Structure 1
Amino acid sequence: MRSAAAVLLVAAAVLPAAVELASPAPSTAIGPPLPGPDRAAPPAARPDLRAPGAPAVDLRLSGDPANRITLVLLGDGYTAAQQQLFHDQADRAWHALLDIEPFRTYQGFFNIRRVDVVSPVSGIAESESAGKVPVTPLGMHFWCEGTARLLCADEDATARWAGQGEGPQYLIALANSTEYGGAGGTGVTTLAGGSPDAGRIIQHEMGHTVGALGDEYDSAPSDPDYPNLSLVDAEEMAHDRTKWWRWLGAVSPDGGGPVGAYRSANGLYRPTEDSVMRSLGGVYNLPSREAIVEQLYRRVKPADAPEPAPGQVTGRPKLHVRPLALTGPRRLQIAWSLDGKPVDAGTADGTWLDTAVLALSPGHRHTVTATVQDTTDWVRDEEFRTQYMTSTVSWTVSG
């Protein structure tokens, strides 16, 4: 099992692109770890600072939690008097995430919940001082694995505060800090809520967490076990039909030229010259965008439960399918058929079909089928589209 990626890009506006971080095993981070024998790792045992019934607020309800991904935002190092600060920083973080594609288009796949964790102290452990123990509820601290900007949390404590959900959840912990830092790809995505780069950091980190993407910067570990990293060049990729071979030659969404195989200093190839997985403020290149969309559909179905339930129905009811909504002009496609032959739903959005208007043979049973499919050109793997991005339901109706 490959190690999870944890990130900390050095902002291009602050440092030149060549300044990047090394990666401590088992996580990865950007920039050489600074020397020093002491590390602010979580202690083996520390007081359980949970308070019963931390308030949870649903910030955004897109639909049935069983068929949505819930982003759970938690704060660490925010006292009772600083809860509004946490609220403001949490809002900025999730809005920034949903401002970058493909999260913008697929924001209807997410519910967003905030958990207001009150800390007995303000701020988190930010130094590498010997014996420094995180005393905040989530145990967040910099200098994780000896790397200054690598920001970690006690994953067990964070999960307890987040609680169980009805469907898949991603936990996002914000530290009450203005320092630059974060981590992604593990059980808890972290960022410094007060950092000026917080919005751009969460865009990068959630690429690890949601899309299982690797870092594309030059000093990242030479681990090709990610959909956006490869050991082989474009010619071999195309010949063997591996990695992002379907995307070779396609125009990058940032106008940065065609998708190819761009060699990094660590010996790996990346799809484009630059992207959000290489430097802050970029966009996801096409192979990375596809990887994120695919991961969403591994957790969420294209449609919620139909009405009535599939199977034998009595009378001549109206049949209703409920495709998940996309943001923007695109919609999931709906096709209806009667005994295998296409029929027109006769409705503006195609989400329901009135069986009373169907020409059914008296005394015979007929099968009405509805198929919902995401036909986005952001995915080129048609086998994946058929298996995960298509939902089919059928009803048996008597004539």
Structure 2
Amino acid sequence: MKHRLLYVFCLLNIGFVNAQIFDVDTIKQSGDKDKRINLVLLSEGYQASEFSKFITDATSFSNAMFVQSPFKEYADYFNVYAIKVPSNESGTDHPATATDVTEPVFPAATADTYFNTSFDTSGYHRLLYTYNSGIVYNVLANNFPEYDQPIILVNSPEYGGAGGPYAVSSTGTSANEIVIHELGHSLFNLKDEYYPGDGNLFEAINATQESNPALIKWKNWIGIDAVNIYPYGNSGQSATWYRPHQSCKMRYLGVPFCSVCKEGIIEKIHSLVGPIDSYLPASNTVNPTAYPIDFQLNLIKPIPNTLKNTWTLNASNFTNDVDDISIVETDLNTGTNDLTVVVHDDSPMLKIDNHETTHVYTVTWTITKSALGIDDISSKQNDFIISLFPNPSHSILNLKVESKNTTSLKVDIISFDGKRLTSTKISNYENNQIDISRLSQGVYLAQIYSDSTLLTSKRFVKN
């Protein structure tokens, strides 16, 4: 599901800033803008004569990002663009007013730049940012409204950056690492794994005040890849907050993301862009008398490919893990036939067992057959976000299914020996509560169906 971040805000601010059109360069093109995550870099503190340097800096960032996990595996899910926004002067402001260092760390300076970025934001020397969001979003609205994440590259050799609605980074030492770290904040909702000070931490994918191993968000990773429950500090508020790893890019530049953060990044990728790029047939273009009928998926595949798919015809399994199938006349019943393919990501970077959220993507073709041949083929695509929690549970399972198209949903509770114990209809976009209080302690499966198609089987523990 694509999101237009703050697009309404952009439209509201257009009237306050003169619309200007700038050149846009393509740094990385993986596919259609509407089916990829579009990272858009904006130049700040680059004069027009320095645009070649800006494109070099933007390309350097893109190259650095897509050799690091999990971006290298999901590189084909991203496009990268650069908007050449000219500043009257090079550099950025350094008012030398920070209170967390002894100023001036480097000489105080001002620069006439387009977005008016500055070091020393909110009293923090390294906090390089601008609050002129109206100008930022006006540039995006007029030059690249399909953006998913803006990044401002500031032409300064000094160390600095910030996360927020738009990521900001200088272009000096560790610039590429700064951008990737700040993207962790801005696009993927990750928190710092160093202690950012009292009042600056919040519950997130990789930060919590929960210390119970059975309840903590990253319980599936504990004991794997050095993931555990580590306090941020030894005393005060810092000792009440916990991170999953001792060496993660959200704590130190130049090291990989920890497994918990990688999983969170992949989850966000799947929430923004589905793996089904296109499919055929998309409409009734089939010769009514011609068999076999070919059906095709064009998938955005991770590297290596970790996508799995299941094809069902009239609720019976047809085949698995192929992108193309052919249907012959004897496969079909006279009347209406439903062919569905269900796609999910089986990456080892996702701990699906006991994982709260699963993303599932489907295409369903309705094939109408008569004595004369195929009368009609129609198709629809659907995305599902399926959440099941808490796990383990003693009495109530919460199940939420979100899908963009209305569908008939149900959940079957299956015992470990394969017996169906209960079957319950569930509602789209609602928190459905499943009473499991009468079940014996043990491991069960929750099988979630759309119409008659199995979307996923989620294992849960009754305690």
Q: TM range, normalised to the smaller chain?
A: 0.7 to 0.9
Find the counterpart in structure 2 of residue 174 from structure 1. Answer: 153
Find the counterpart in structure 2 of residue 103 from structure 1. Answer: 71
Mean Cα displacement is larger for which, 172-181 or 289-298?
A: 289-298
The whole-number CA distance in structure 2 between the counterparts of 1:60 and 1:272 is: 32
Counterpart check, 1:333 vs 2:308: yes
Counterpart check, 1:350 vs 2:313: no
Runs of 5+ consecutive residues of structure 1 not aligned to the other structure: 1-47, 253-257
| Correspondent of 1:192 among 166, 170, 184 | 170
Give the drift of 1:293.
0.9
Does the 8 Å CA contact 2:230/2:243 hold for their aligned counterparts? yes
Counterpart check, 1:397 vs 2:374: no
Q: Identity of counterpart residues, as a percentage?
A: 27
User: Which one-letter code corresponds to 1:163 in the other structure?
Assistant: A
**Mapping 1:347-386, distance limit 5 Å:** 350-355=322-327, 357=328, 359-361=330-332, 363-381=334-352
1:224 to 1:137, Cα distance in 2 relative to 1, 3 A? closer
SS in 2 for 1:72: strand
Does the 8 Å CA contact 1:229/1:269 hold for their aligned counterparts? yes
The whole-number CA distance in structure 2 between the counterparts of 1:208 and 1:68 is: 20
**Mapping 1:298-309, distance limit 5 Å:** 298-309=271-282
The whole-number CA distance in structure 2 between the counterparts of 1:221 and 1:314 is: 68
Mean Cα displacement is larger for which, 65-74 or 171-180?
A: 65-74
Find the counterpart in structure 1 of residue 133 from structure 2. Answer: 155
Larger fraction in strand: 2
Does the 8 Å CA contact 1:50/1:161 hold for their aligned counterparts? no
| CA displacement, residues 156-197 of structure 1 (integer Å, 9 cap, x when unaligned) | 21222223656551000000100000111x11101002x121
Does the 8 Å CA contact 2:127/2:161 hold for their aligned counterparts? yes
The whole-number CA distance in structure 2 between the counterparts of 1:221 and 1:376 is: 36
1:382 to 1:211, Cα distance in 2 relative to 1, 3 A? farther
Give the drift of 1:382.
5.4
SS in 2 for 1:53: coil
Does the 8 Å CA contact 1:370/1:393 hold for their aligned counterparts? yes
User: Which one-letter code corresponds to 1:170 in the other structure?
Assistant: Q
Find the counterpart in structure 2 of residue 319 from structure 1. Answer: 295
Find the counterpart in structure 1 of residue 222 from structure 2. Answer: 248
The whole-number CA distance in structure 2 between the counterparts of 1:391 and 1:398 is: 23
| CA displacement, residues 213-251 of structure 1 (integer Å, 9 cap, x when unaligned) | 111113544624111112233xx131xx2311111111x
* TM-score under structure 2 length normalisation: 0.66
Give the drift of 1:79.
0.7
Give the drift of 1:128.
3.0
Does the 8 Å CA contact 2:209/2:242 hold for their aligned counterparts? yes
Does the 8 Å CA contact 1:314/1:397 hold for their aligned counterparts? no
1:219 to 1:71, Cα distance in 2 relative to 1, 3 A? closer
Give the drift of 1:313.
6.7
The whole-number CA distance in structure 1 between the counterparts of 2:357 and 2:91 is: 48
The whole-number CA distance in structure 1 between the counterparts of 2:54 and 2:341 is: 45
| Correspondent of 2:181 among 204, 213, 238 | 204
Give the drift of 1:350.
2.1
Find the counterpart in structure 2 of residue 136 from structure 1. Answer: 113
Give the drift of 1:127.
2.7
The whole-number CA distance in structure 1 between the counterparts of 2:364 and 2:357 is: 17
1:211 to 1:386, Cα distance in 2 relative to 1, 3 A? closer
| CA displacement, residues 84-138 of structure 1 (integer Å, 9 cap, x when unaligned) | 1111111111222222211111111111111011111111112337998763112
1:94 to 1:259, Cα distance in 2 relative to 1, 3 A? same
Does the 8 Å CA contact 2:352/2:358 hold for their aligned counterparts? no
Find the counterpart in structure 2 of residue 146 from structure 1. Answer: 123
Does the 8 Å CA contact 2:310/2:341 hold for their aligned counterparts? yes
Counterpart check, 1:112 vs 2:84: no
Does the 8 Å CA contact 1:73/1:113 hold for their aligned counterparts? yes
Runs of 5+ consecutive residues of structure 2 not aligned to the other structure: 1-15, 99-107, 370-463
Mean Cα displacement is larger for which, 358-367 or 114-123?
A: 358-367
User: Which one-letter code corresponds to 2:47 in the other structure?
Assistant: T
Give the drift of 1:142.
0.9
The whole-number CA distance in structure 2 between the counterparts of 1:295 and 1:396 is: 31
The whole-number CA distance in structure 2 between the counterparts of 1:214 and 1:382 is: 25
1:398 to 1:100, Cα distance in 2 relative to 1, 3 A? same
| CA displacement, residues 201-222 of structure 1 (integer Å, 9 cap, x when unaligned) | 1221111122211111135446
User: Which one-letter code corresponds to 1:307 in the other structure?
Assistant: L
Does the 8 Å CA contact 1:75/1:117 hold for their aligned counterparts? yes
1:225 to 1:312, Cα distance in 2 relative to 1, 3 A? farther
The whole-number CA distance in structure 1 between the counterparts of 2:86 and 2:77 is: 29
The whole-number CA distance in structure 2 between the counterparts of 1:87 and 1:54 is: 14
Does the 8 Å CA contact 1:323/1:372 hold for their aligned counterparts? no
1:219 to 1:187, Cα distance in 2 relative to 1, 3 A? closer
Find the counterpart in structure 2 of residue 8 from structure 1. Answer: none
The whole-number CA distance in structure 2 between the counterparts of 1:242 and 1:358 is: 53
Find the counterpart in structure 2 of residue 29 from structure 1. Answer: none
Find the counterpart in structure 2 of residue 281 from structure 1. Answer: 254
Q: Name which structure has the greater RCO, CA cutoff 8 Å, separation 6+.
A: 1
Q: CA RMSD in A?
A: 2.7
Does the 8 Å CA contact 2:85/2:114 hold for their aligned counterparts? yes
SS in 1 for 2:169: strand
Of structures 1 and 2, the larger Rg is shown by 2
The whole-number CA distance in structure 2 between the counterparts of 1:361 and 1:219 is: 62
SS in 2 for 1:205: helix
Give the drift of 1:52.
2.8
Find the counterpart in structure 2 of residue 87 from structure 1. Answer: 55
